[in-house]
């Protein structure tokens, strides 16, 4: 049984037995009826229970999620602005996907490992990655400045879906080490069409690897809508591979947390993989280079604004007296400070040392590359002032 909301009858909000369209605006053709959607917090901020996903979450954690999501959204807005001002080459916005990413990211234990795409800034935040270490990638300083081993958070993978195999292989290693940790592979709806993603699910199933595939279905692969990727709801693909698939309201941070925790725990206990489809929406453009007005209607975006992940948690916190105005003001002030730090840290970021590109191609440098590096240095030194400006 799943608690769902009937947008045609507001009086039924909170009726746990009503199985109807889960979200307002779901009458849009790309949003089918979703009787299987796991939801613990309605778009209006009503707390629900789900028999399969009981959630034990403290008031502090609830406030923490609000803080996380607000700060990450502010980071995202600042990054978009910095790109517009020429300080970043590009930015891939996570706007609208904060709940999916923080819910999943906070479901991980320290000893677990996550394999992101290139949009998982919220997960990066949850893993304790300094936002500036993400900004450096989009500024063109490096390919991500954090230590993936220390953070349990792999570097961003830009080739769509390739990281799902890495996560699976890593999980096969975890399995051999028997340390009881689990692995979380992120992917998008478009990636489910990739052969490598399907191979990852075959391998994970065959070896019962402790990996969870966390798919943020944000409805679009750049411009191409979901129905071009799949004729069936994505979570149902899992059955074909022989492991469970779950669809969760990706804009409901509590449901995402509960579902991901359960899947990771099952993986730790040797029950093999789970596929989670976090049903969400990319509120912004694919990246700052994209123009979504060419392929989707403004009305659709407006509908999804009603399901905003942060607004619903704020409504719940306010209504249930778990947070007051002072709390929300504090978070806003903290977001301002974070944005200021990200801005100054980004614009002040030094360019990389030119010879750095030669230095980590190999663990053991080769003589030909060392020679090429020396040639490059000599060439640079031939300019007045010693460096080619």
Partner 1 sequence: MSAELLEAPATTETLTIGKALNLGLRRAMEDDPKVVLLGEDIGRLGGVFRITDGLQKDFGEARVVDTPLAEAGILGTAVGLAMRGYRPVVEIQFDGFVFPAFNQIVTQVAKMHARSRGLVPMPMVIRIPFGGGIGAVEHHSESPEAYFAHTPGLKVVAVSNPVDAYWGIQQAIACPDPVVFLEPKRRYWDKAPVDTSATPGPLFGSRVVRGGDDVTVLAYGPMVKTALQAAEAAETEGRSLEVVDLRTISPLDLEPVYDSVRRTGRCVVVHEAPVTLGLGAEIAARVTETCFHSLEAPVLRVGGYDVPYPPSKLEEDYLPDLDRVLDAVDRAMGF
* Positions marked active-site: 282, 286, 295
Interaction of residue 330 with partner 1, rule CB under 8 A? no
Interaction of residue 264 with partner 1, rule CB under 8 A? no
Measure the CA–CA gap between 162 and 77, rounded to whole angstroms. 28
Q: Which of 222, 224, 297, 369 binds partner 1 (CB under 8 A)?
A: 369
Rounded to 5°, angle at Cα 334 from 332 and 336: 70
Burial 330-349 (b: 16+ CB within 10 A, else e): ebeeebeebbeebbeebeeb
- Which residues have CB under 8 Å from 205's CB, separation 6+? 241, 242, 243, 272, 273
Interacting span for partner 1 (CB under 8 A) from 9-17, 117-125, 191-199, 260-268? 191-199
Q: Which of 96, 103, 122, 169 binds partner 1 (CB under 8 A)?
A: 169
Q: Determine the size of the site formed for partner 1 (CB under 8 A).
A: 43
Interaction of residue 206 with partner 1, rule CB under 8 A? yes
- Which residues have CB under 8 Å from 4's CB, separation 6+? 18, 19, 20, 21, 22, 34, 35, 37, 39
Interaction of residue 171 with partner 1, rule CB under 8 A? yes
Closest distance of CB 183 from partner 1, Å = 8
Interaction of residue 359 with partner 1, rule CB under 8 A? yes
Q: Which of 75, 203, 243, 316 binds partner 1 (CB under 8 A)?
A: 203
Interaction of residue 362 with partner 1, rule CB under 8 A? yes
Interaction of residue 130 with partner 1, rule CB under 8 A? no
Interaction of residue 12 with partner 1, rule CB under 8 A? no
Measure the CA–CA gap between 98 and 95, rounded to whole angstroms. 7
Binding mask 146-165 for partner 1 (x = CB under 8 A): -xxx----xx-x-x--x-xx
Is residue 312 within 8 A of residue 280, CB to CB? The reply is no
Measure the CA–CA gap between 299 and 338, rounded to whole angstroms. 32
Compute CA distances 255 → 3, 86, 323, whole Å.
Answer: 12, 38, 20
Residues found near partner 1 in the complex (CB under 8 A): 142-144, 147-149, 154-155, 157, 159, 162, 164-174, 176-177, 195-196, 199-200, 202-203, 206, 356-357, 359-364, 366-369
């Amino acid at each position: 049984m799943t608690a769902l909301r009937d947008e045609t009858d507001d009086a039924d909000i909170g009726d746990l037995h009503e199985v109807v369209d889960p979200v307002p605006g779901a009458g849009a053709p790309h949003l089918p009826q979703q009787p299987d959607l796991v939801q613990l917090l309605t778009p209006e901020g009503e707390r629900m229970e789900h028999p399969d996903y009981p959630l034990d979450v403290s008031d502090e954690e609830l406030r923490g999620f609000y803080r996380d999501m607000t700060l990450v959204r502010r980071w995202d807005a600042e990054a978009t602005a910095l790109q517009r001002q020429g300080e970043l080459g590009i930015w891939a916005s996570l706007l609208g996907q904060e709940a999916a990413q923080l819910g999943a990211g906070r479901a991980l234990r320290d000893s677990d490992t996550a394999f992101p795409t290139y949009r998982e800034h919220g997960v990066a935040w949850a893993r304790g990655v300094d936002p500036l270490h993400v900004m450096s990638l989009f500024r063109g300083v490096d390919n991500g400045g954090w230590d993936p081993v220390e953070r349990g958070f792999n570097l961003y993978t830009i080739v769509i879906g390739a990281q799902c195999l890495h996560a699976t292989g890593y999980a096969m290693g975890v399995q051999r080490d028997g340390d009881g940790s689990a692995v979380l592979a992120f992917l998008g709806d478009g990636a489910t069409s990739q052969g490598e993603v399907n191979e990852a699910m075959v391998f994970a199933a065959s070896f019962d690897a402790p990996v969870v595939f966390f798919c943020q279905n944000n409805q679009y692969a750049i411009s191409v809508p979901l129905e071009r990727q799949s004729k069936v709801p994505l979570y149902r693909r899992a059955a074909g591979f022989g492991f469970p698939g779950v669809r969760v309201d990706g804009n409901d941070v509590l449901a995402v947390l509960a579902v991901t925790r359960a899947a990771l725990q099952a993986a730790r206990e040797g029950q093999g993989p789970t596929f989670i489809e976090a049903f969400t929406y990319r509120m912004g453009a694919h990246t700052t280079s994209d123009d979504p007005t060419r392929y989707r209607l403004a009305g659709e975006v407006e509908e999804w604004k009603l399901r905003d992940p942060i607004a619903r948690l704020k409504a719940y916190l306010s209504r249930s007296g778990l947070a007051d105005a002072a709390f929300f003001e504090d978070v806003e002030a903290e977001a301002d400070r974070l944005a200021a730090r990200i801005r100054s840290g980004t614009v002040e970021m030094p360019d990389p040392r030119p010879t750095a590109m030669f230095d980590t191609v190999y663990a053991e440098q080769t003589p030909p590359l060392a020679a090429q590096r020396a040639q490059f240095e000599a060439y640079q030194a031939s300019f007045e002032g010693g460096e080619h400006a």
